[in-house]
Every structure is written in C-alpha cells, then in structure tokens.
Amino acid sequence: MFQVPVLVLKEGTKRESGHKAQLGNITAAKAVSDTVRTTLGPRAMLKMVLDAMGGIVLTNDGNAVLREIDVSHPAAKSMIELSRTQDEEVGDGTTSVIVLAGELLSVAEPFIERGIHPRIVVNAYFKALDDAVEVIDKLATKIDPNDNKAVNNVIASCIGTKYMSRHKELMCELASTAVRTIATEVDGHKVIDIKNYARIEKVPGGGVEDSCVLRGVMFDKDVTHPKMRRKINNPKILLLDCPLEYTKLESQANVEIAKESDWEALLKQEETYVEKLCSEIVKLKPDLVITEKGVSDLAQHYLMKANISCIRRVKKTENNRIAKATGATIVSRAEEAKESDLGIAGLFEVKKIGDEYFTFITECASPKACTILLRGASKVLNVMKTFDILFLNSKKDVLNEIERNLQDALCVARNIMRDPRIVPGGGATEMFVSKALGEKAKSLEGVIQFPYRAVSQAMEVIPRTLLENCGANVVRALTELRAKYASGKETPWGVNGQTGEIVDMSQYGIWEPYTVKVQTIKTAVESAALLLRIDDIVSGISKKKDDGQNASQPQNEEE
C-alpha cells in the first residue's frame, strides 16, 4: 500500500505564518493608509471612485473612499473597518485614524524584523495610549456649548479640510443651527439624534448660499390631486401610516358570487368603506393629511371636497420627522384618529424647484426635527465645464460630497454639544503627545522603551502629512516644529495647512473636539495592536459546511 501524505486541512486552504504573515499585514495596512493619505488637511485632494455600477463618488472623506474599495487582504479589511467605526462613533477624523494606524504599524516593522516579540510592542503601544490620553486630557480646554461663535469656530476647522471650505461660515451656521434644533434634554444628558431627526435634502440648482436650515421639514412629494390647496397657513396636520384605500384581507378569503347583485354589493362595499374612512378624517377637520401608504382616487375625491390636501407614500422616517416637528402622533387606523393626534405647523407649501415639486412644512413652533436644504452645484458646474462629458450628470455627485461634508460638520457640532472640550488642531495636539511620550520613553526600562518611542514618532505623521499635502518643505518645517516644542513652552504650535507655515494654533484658531481626537488615537493604537498580534493567517475556509466527502482524495498537508 502506498504511503499517502496526511491531509488535515481542506483543499484550497492557504496558510501564512510567522514573519511573513506579520509583515504582510503591515504592508497591507500601509497600502490602505497610503490610499487616503492625500485627503488629509485643508489642502486635501478629492478622490474619484468609480464603483462597480459605474457610478462616481467624488470625495475626500476617508470613510467614503474606503467604503467603496474592495480589498482582499484581511488586514486591509480590518483597517477599513476602522474608518467606519470612527464615522459611527464621532463622525469625523476618518482619514486621520487610518493614516495614524498605518504609521503605527509601519514604525513597528523594524522591531518585528529585528525579532522583538510583538507582545512587547503591543504592551508599549497600550502604555503609550494611556499616557497619550492623559496628555490630551490636560491639554483640553472647555468652551461654552451655547456660545455660537466658539462652536462655529470648531466646526470651521472641520469644514476647512473639506471640499466646501469656501462656504465655511454658511456650513458652520447650518450645522450648529440644525443640531441646536434637534437637541433635547433627557434625564440631564443631551440627546442628539442626527440620524433620525436631521435630514439633509439635496436639491440641485441654485447657489450654495441658498442652503438653509428649515424650522420644520421638507420632502420631495406633491399633493395627490392637482386641485388641492398647495399653500396653507397654520395647517392642522394628520399623520397616518395606514392606506386610505380598500385593503385586502390578511387571511385567504374567496368570495363565491352567485348573483349579479352580490357583485354590485361587493363593489359598493369597497366604496362605502373608503367613504367611511374619509368621513372619519373629515370630522377632525385637518387641513393636511399625510400618509405612508397609498390613497385611492376615491379617497382623494372625498378629501378634496372637504378642502383637505393630501400627500401619500411618505417615507416612514420622513413621517417620524414630521411628527417630531409638528408634535403630531402618527395614527395607525383612520377610524381611531383623535383631535389630540393632530399636529400644527406655521406654513404648508408645495414649491416647484427645478423640475420637481417639494413639500415644505415649516415655521413650526418648537420643532424637534429639521431638514437642511442643500442647494448648489450650478456654480461648481461652471467651473468644471471643461470636463463636460464626465460631469454632465454629476450634479448629484458634487451635492453628495457637500452632503458628506455637512454630515461631518453635524457630527462635530453634536460632539461639541455633548462634550464641550476642545484641543488644538493642525497637528499641534499630536506634537504635544509626541513630545510627552518622547520624554517619558527615557524613563522606561528595558526593551519596551523602543516601541514606546516609536509611538511618539508615529504621532508626527499627522503634521507631516499636512505639510506634505500643502507642498511645503517637509523636513525643514517639521524640524522647525520640533524645535518650537523642544523649547518647552506651552504654546500650541501647529501647521498652517494652507501655507505650510508653523503658526500658533491658539492665534490661528484651528480647534478640534476632544472626543474626535481621543477616539482617533484609541482606535488607531488598538487596531495596530490587533494586527501586530497575528502570526498566522489561514484563508479560504468555506463558510458553509459541505458534505465533506468529495475532499477525501489524498492531498498534501499545507504548512
């Protein structure tokens, strides 16, 4: 009998272990961070991503770029997850977290090559993380979240790095007003639910200057019947999430009709049902009925007769926002609607913008939800006329990017409202941390001090990238920056991302929320630690269990 090699793992399984796996991970992570490196700072460049469907994404938002990229290396995937986490948690700093994590891994490379155990590196990283957070804690200053100017200033730093930097003031104003509108106080802490209650509605055309925050909501729907009123002052609004038409039964029901009169009765019945429904509604005397479901022609007729305007097929989320803005309760069955369920707004109006009709429900007394109306793109389009073909239908692409910018701004505004601590931007915070860690490293004993010092160097990647992106003389400027910090004064020197000069951040006025900065560093360090600890990658495991018999052929053990 011939000796068969022993097979243990399934066919097609690949294994990589030891140094090869570790260095592979680092290379992959570096590749990811290189992808987004140029999108950091005020001189950031946009990325154009062509997705599989042929759509274009134009952005400099780290998360948006990486989300579209399909990577195969597991470590790269792990990196991409980071920017998503950052986006969900604080909404800003998605690029910095990737750049920092990539740098932390690449400074670890020489240690791994030299044979220092990854555990030691990881321990040093975590130690450095603790100290870094401490430094930032000390550095942070509080601002008054009710001081509009101070808040706007912070948002401006965030917007400054984006595509919309030209309309900085406007964007700041939009973000802070919107967040202030939807902020509610529950049990002593602020609840700000941007996802549900602050909606950004993009309408191509007009100028960016026309964008505004509505005291209420707006959505792209028209009244169902052209004769209904399109403008009502102080309307009473009824919100429904049930259809105003005859509905089929849930149960399987068949009607066997024997006589002709039965057929008629059946049709009649459907009509009377709708009529009854409408008469219930009319009794409440609303001026406007909005439903998530359909409205039959017959119901429209009855409502129109009662001089009630009606809008159908509104999104669930939209309906929720209207409820929040007007104080209405969403009614699930028209028969059960009560006077108290009605909501009140200041103005209902359907406007035609461009080619489409939009419904505005505005001037609400105390709206807890709002819509941010975003206009623009026409100006942008002019500039881009030279690239005619590509941008022919790219109005939305540009607006999409503005929306993402605004989303980031909203998040920053929210973070500031929740935790009003700020730290200097422009790489100043990173330099403070770097300096503090560098000094601390001297007092550490043993091998641990080398990776610890490496963290201090890795922190410099933020100012360095800022300098690179604005085309400054990196070496000279960075040396100057280091020298300023070495002098021991507590001035927050940082990089002016426009010119590449070294400026005092407290004068220049670039501030970032404390939460974003701390989150960036935590996420970056911990993910770097996660990747460093891996010494074995097994890939190609099939997810579902197959019958397992077809693989019984002898096969080489892969190791």
Tokens 């002019």 correspond to 382
* DSSP three-state, residue 2: coil
Catalytic hit among 39, 59, 94, 181:
94
Sole binder of other proteins in the list 8, 53, 383, 389 (CB under 8 A)? 8
Tokens 């154009």 correspond to 48
Should residue 195 be labelled a site residue for other proteins when binding is judged by CB under 8 A? Answer: yes
Q: Which of residues 129-188 bind other proteins (CB under 8 A)?
A: 129, 186-187
CB-wise, 385 or 543, nearer to other proteins? 543
- Whether 61 is catalytic is yes
Q: Which of residues 518-557 bind other proteins (CB under 8 A)?
A: 519, 522-527, 529-530, 533-543, 545, 548-552, 557
Q: Which of residues 75-134 bind other proteins (CB under 8 A)?
A: 75, 77-78, 81-82, 84-85, 88-89, 117-119, 122-123, 125-126, 129
Question: How many residues of this chain interact with other proteins, rule: CB under 8 A?
Answer: 92
- The Cα 424–Cα 446 span in angstroms is 33
Q: How far is the CB of 142 from other proteins (least distance, A)?
A: 21
CB-wise, 191 or 365, nearer to other proteins? 191
Q: Which residues pair with 184 in a beta bridge?
A: 191
Should residue 393 be labelled a site residue for other proteins when binding is judged by CB under 8 A? Answer: no
Supply φ then ψ for residue 319, to 5 degrees. Answer: -60, -40
| N- to C-terminal Cα separation, the chain | 25
CB-wise, 115 or 226, nearer to other proteins? 115
CB-wise, 48 or 257, nearer to other proteins? 257
- The Cα 50–Cα 68 span in angstroms is 8
Should residue 324 be labelled a site residue for other proteins when binding is judged by CB under 8 A? Answer: yes
CB-wise, 442 or 543, nearer to other proteins? 543
Q: Which of residues 405-434 bind other proteins (CB under 8 A)?
A: none
Cβ neighbours of residue 149 closer than 8 Å, sequence gap 6 or more: none
Catalytic hit among 291, 397, 408, 523:
408
> What long-range pairs does 484-489 form, CB within 8 A, spacing at least 24?
485/431, 485/432, 485/434, 485/435, 486/435
- Whether 359 is catalytic is no
- Whether 262 is catalytic is no
Catalytic hit among 39, 95, 362, 465:
95
Contact of 518 with 136, CB cutoff 8 Å: yes
**What's the number of CA atoms in the CB half-sphere (13 Å) around residue 9?**
12
Q: Which of residues 18-57 bind other proteins (CB under 8 A)?
A: 21, 25
Q: Which two tokens stand for residue 419?
A: 């935790």
Q: What is the largest CA-CA distance in the chain?
A: 101
Should residue 403 be labelled a site residue for other proteins when binding is judged by CB under 8 A? Answer: no
Q: Which of residues 234-263 bind other proteins (CB under 8 A)?
A: 241-242, 247, 249-258, 262
C-alpha torsion 341→347→351→353, nearest 10 = -100
Q: How far is the CB of 487 from other proteins (least distance, A)?
A: 32
- Whether 27 is catalytic is no
Cβ neighbours of residue 350 closer than 8 Å, sequence gap 6 or more: 222, 223, 230, 231, 357, 358, 359, 360
Active centre residues (catalytic): 61, 94-95, 408
